[in-house]
Amino acid sequence: MTIKLMKKTVFSIAIFLGHMIAGYAQSGEVIVNQDSGLTKLLELYKRSNTDAKVYTIQVGFGSYAEAKKLKDEFVLEYPDWPVTLVFDSPTYRVQAGRFHNRLDAEREFIEVRKKFPGSLLLRPGNRQ
C-alpha cells in the first residue's frame, strides 16, 4: 500500500508543479526601445506614399457648388473610393481613385464613364 500512496503523492506533486510552471510561463513583460528618428521616418514614408505616382479619374469640374454636388453624387455611387476637390483657378475639379497601374485605372474608368460621361483618366503627375 505504501507504493500506491507514494505514486499518488508523486503524481499529485507533479500535477501541482506543472500548474505552477504553466502559471509562471504565461506572465511576462516586453519593453521596446525605439529610436526617436523612427517616428519621423514613418511620417516621411506615409507622406511620400500619399504623393506616389498614381492614376486618378477626374469626374468633372465647375464652381465650388457644382463640384461639391458632383462629389456627393460620386460618393453615393462609389462610397469606398477616395475623392478630392482640387482647386485649379478658376474651377474646382473632382478627382477620384488611386490606381497604381494603368490597367486597373482603365478598367475602372470605363465603368465610371458610364455614369459620369464627362470623366477623364489622369496619368501620374498630371493631377491638375
Note whether residue 30 is domain-resident. no
Confidence of residue 1 (pLDDT cuts 50, 70, 90): low
Cell 509562471, residue located: 24
Q: What's the total number of domains in the chain?
A: 1
The pTM score is 0.58
Its domain, for residue 81, covers 54-122
For 75-92, write each residue's pLDDT tens digit: 999 999 999 999 988 999
In which region does residue 78 sit, left (phi positive, over 0), alpha (psi from -120 to 50) or beta (all else)? beta
Q: Do 81 and 97 form a contact (C-beta atoms < 8 A)?
A: yes
Note whether residue 1 is domain-resident. no
Q: Is 38 helix (H, G, I), strand (E, B) or coil?
A: helix
Amino acid at 42: L
Task: Identify the CATH number of the domain in which residue 58 sits.
Answer: 3.30.70.1070
For 22-63, write each residue's pLDDT tens digit: 655 556 677 878 787 877 777 777 766 665 689 999 999 999
Note whether residue 20 is domain-resident. no
Confidence of residue 8 (pLDDT cuts 50, 70, 90): confident
